[in-house]
Structure 1
Amino acid sequence: MSSGLYPALYMPKDGYVFVVTYGRSGSTLTQSLLNSIPGYCIRGENGNLTYFLSRAANFVANNDMYKWRREDLPKRTEDRRPYLKKILGQPYDPWAGAEDVDPIDFTYSLMNLFVEKILKPAPGCRVSGFKEIRFHEDPRFFQTYMEILRDTFPNARFLFQTRDHDAVSKSSWWAKHPKATVVKELQRAETMFKNFATANPEHSFTIEYERYSEGPEYVQKIFDFLGEAHDPESTAAVLGRSLKH
């Protein structure tokens, strides 16, 4: 895909990192560690905006009203679907113009706008991205959602973060819900994370929050996955900050 058509999307020359997790997993620590890497600009949550953009992109790509018109436009009139023979390309078609919508351009344009207006990478940023705790909220769309991000954002990497379920269930708003309900949701999320990571090992790394207690040695594994040089002193400073998770 041409970087000239989507300049904001292609501006971070080394790509994107997405921290995929659920609430109270300690992901703000991961965000801080990533932002300690020179040239990284990893934003916090945005309300899962890319979900809505991905939904729109998927609709344009796969909804029959769009898809049939794109497929039939180059065909001879007699070879088109009966429904479209007399209306395709005409101003009285209820979906007039749908045949001209390019789903790939639409997807890239949406994500280019997201980078330009939401992520807003700082000057000198070479890796952008964000962390989000809501990726898993639509289980049936999760796989497709991740695939859209993988295929649209250059050099997309996913850091799936997990944490001990008992600790999460006692934290903040989770504590207001029955523990069994919380654990079930966390297990469901982690199953989705694992399935995508297993199918996309070159794009995925799973962070176990408890292992941060091992110090810079564990963080080294994350940096190795990202292909980044590791400064143990900088890591120790970030890990030493007190996060009330």
Structure 2
Amino acid sequence: MADPVTLAQRARSVQRVGRRLLARRARRHEVEKFIFVVGYGRSGSTLVQAILGTMDGCHIAGENLGAVFALAQAHARLADVAARYGLGPAPPEHPWFGAFEIDPDSIGRRLAALIVDEVMRPPRGTRIAGFKEIRWLDERQDLATSLDFLKRYLAPARFVLNVRDPEAVVRSAWWRDHPRDAALAKIAGWNAALEAVAAADPQHCYLLRYEDFTQGPDRLAPLFAFLDESFDRTAIDRVLGCRLTHAGVPS
């Protein structure tokens, strides 16, 4: 049996964990909207992240190696299991025993809470939370599944789809080791995919071209109108005037 001191230490540890969980939950409920930056390597997504950070109470987290997309895909698979094999109770010897108990909506809400609390981790006072990622279009990902999950469980959600001229992208050091023609074709395909997404869902998606907004702050006014946020020209001008460093991390 544990001694009284050990029991007291365990109790205090449990209390600390409980307080942290409650604090995170409180911060989650302070968030009014979510914004996600959709880009690819050297599309300008880090600059877009910084521009969005000029909004009052905005916390746009950095990349997560596509971990959020894996959670969205896991949710989609479980929803498929429930739809196909969870139509009614099954005996213990059935290969899909337990599928009837799967609740996709409950799983989606809990995964969304996990994403906010443990991936975005918005500080107290955050009105707008989100993240930027460059792996939305990787072959291993399903863009539509990820967008649908975030729109449903982190609403209201808005997506800034960041594209750039393929010729400018392939000139960056990050693309140096890729065969030029293959890289140009891949980036052009990604641009076309994001343009199609924006055209199909203008309520949630805004197409932002690097060549446009780097011409000056005023080119970003329509983006802020789309997001229904104040446009701070001075703050954005400062961001555009700063040279960004990536510390060896692709973005």
TM range, smaller chain: 0.7 to 0.9
Partner deviation per Cα, 1:130-161 (whole Å, 9 max, x = no partner)? 11000011388222221121112111000000
Partner deviation per Cα, 1:49-77 (whole Å, 9 max, x = no partner)? 111001100101113xx32332234xxxx
The structure 1 residue matched to 2:61, chosen from 20, 38, 43, is 43
Partner deviation per Cα, 1:209-230 (whole Å, 9 max, x = no partner)? 1112331211211111111111
| Root-mean-square deviation (Å) | 2.2
| C-alpha distance in structure 1 between counterparts of 2:223 and 2:140, whole Å | 26
The answer to whether the 8 A contact 1:8-1:116 is kept is: no
Letter in 2 for 1:119: M
- Deviant stretches of 4+, over 3 Å: 6-10
Give the Å deviation of 1:128. 0.4
Partner deviation per Cα, 1:112-145 (whole Å, 9 max, x = no partner)? 1111111101100011001100001138822222
The answer to whether the 8 A contact 1:31-1:42 is kept is: yes
**Structure 1 gap ranges (5+):** 1-5, 74-87
- Counterparts in 2 of 1:221 and 1:193: CA distance versus 1, 3 Å: same
| C-alpha distance in structure 2 between counterparts of 1:9 and 1:107, whole Å | 19
- In the alignment, which residue of structure 2 is the partner of 1:67? 83
The SS at the match of 1:195 is helix
- Bigger CA drift: 171-180 or 40-49? 171-180
Matched residue pairs, number? 224
The answer to whether the 8 A contact 1:9-1:153 is kept is: no
The SS at the match of 2:137 is helix
**Structure 2 gap ranges (5+):** 1-23, 247-251
| C-alpha distance in structure 2 between counterparts of 1:188 and 1:207, whole Å | 16
| C-alpha distance in structure 2 between counterparts of 1:69 and 1:8, whole Å | 37
| C-alpha distance in structure 2 between counterparts of 1:241 and 1:228, whole Å | 22
Please report the TM-score for the alignment, with normalisation by the length of structure 1. Answer: 0.85
Work out whether 1:11 is the aligned partner of 2:29: yes
Letter in 2 for 1:154: A
Q: Percent identity?
A: 33
| C-alpha distance in structure 2 between counterparts of 1:122 and 1:138, whole Å | 33
- In the alignment, which residue of structure 1 is the partner of 2:191? 190
